Chains A and B, each alone.
Chain A
Amino acid sequence: SQQGEEDPQALSIQEGENATMNCSYKTSINNLQWYRQNSGRGLVHLILIRSNEREKHSGRLRVTLDTSKKSSSLLITASRAADTASYFCATVGSQGNLIFGKGTKLSVKP
């Protein structure tokens, strides 16, 4: 069953702006992961944050996790046209299953 829900479903910004995507989930997790999918391509793993972590950085990406609110956010700073893609959060529970949300479609205009 679906676990994560991304918000917004679609986001359109100008190059150079920051993009923030949110994810909410329902049950307890071991970790939460973010993926990017370019149109017509496979998914690329971006970052994994464990349930005992609150924030993680990777280049222009910043992920936060609030387990009390069962939510996570992905911030892309100084966005580029090449960041245009769909972004998915996915949660891992105690059984190790990865369950995806519906995704946020990000469009970065040059």
Chain B
Amino acid sequence: DTAVSQTPKYLVTQMGNDKSIKCEQNLGHDTMYWYKQDSKKFLKIMFSYNNKELIINETVPNRFSPKSPDKAHLNLHINSLELGDSAVYFCASSQERGAGRFFGPGTRLTVL
């Protein structure tokens, strides 16, 4: 069984559109994350979330918002997509914030 899954794997869309990426983990972890990997393979934390606390990287535009319907899911909503949003987005989870992360397979977003 896949530990951390994301859908879709690929997402191609036009500038200005609104899109969502779904993430689910079946590990029973309390904390979930969203990371962005740019074209140079640099990984940047976007959000860290557990049932008590949402921590937002201050450099993330407010067009990006995480939504967590329950402990096992953390979806990423992006409004008014821009060309610079093109990247690979990874969901991850961990038992606690200092522990190793389990990553999903990634969603490659291309904004045209």
> In the complex, what distance in Å separates the CA atom of A86 from the CA atom of B43?
12
Chain B residues whose C-beta falls within 8 Å of the C-beta of A95 in the assembled complex: 97
The count of chain B contact residues (Cβ–Cβ below 8 Å) is: 23
Q: Does A88 contact B (CB under 8 A)?
A: yes
Tell me whether A33 and B97 are in contact (CB under 8 A). no
Contacting pair B98 A31 (CB below 8 A): yes
Q: Is the CB of B105 within 8 A of A102?
A: no
How many A-B pairs fall under 8 Å by CB?
54
Min Cβ gap A50→B in Å is: 9
Tell me which of A18-26, A37-45, A71-79 binds B.
Answer: A37-45
B72 within 8 A of A: no
Q: Which residues does chain B contribute within 8 Å of A110, judged by CB atoms?
A: none
Chain A residue nearest to B91 (CB atoms) is A42
* A100 touches which of B42, B96, B106 (Cβ 8 Å): B42
Residues of chain B within 8 A of A98, CB atoms compared? 33, 45, 101
* A99 on interface, CB distance cutoff 8 Å: yes
Residues of A7-58 at the interface with B, using a CB-CB cut-off of 8 Å, are: 30-31, 33, 35, 37, 40-45, 48
Most chain-B CB neighbours within 10 Å: which of A2, A35, A95, A97? A97
Which B residues form the contact surface with A (CB < 8 A)? Answer: 4, 33, 40-45, 48, 55, 90, 92, 96-106
Q: Which 5 A-B pairs have the closest CB atoms?
A: A96-B97, A45-B100, A42-B103, A100-B43, A43-B103
Instruction: List 30 A-B residue pairs with CB atoms under 8 Å apart, sorted by A's residue number.
Output: A2-B42, A33-B101, A35-B101, A35-B103, A37-B41, A40-B106, A42-B105, A42-B106, A43-B43, A43-B92, A45-B101, A45-B103, A86-B41, A92-B97, A92-B98, A95-B97, A96-B48, A96-B96, A97-B45, A97-B48, A97-B55, A97-B97, A98-B101, A99-B45, A100-B42, A100-B44, A102-B40, A102-B41, A102-B42, A103-B41
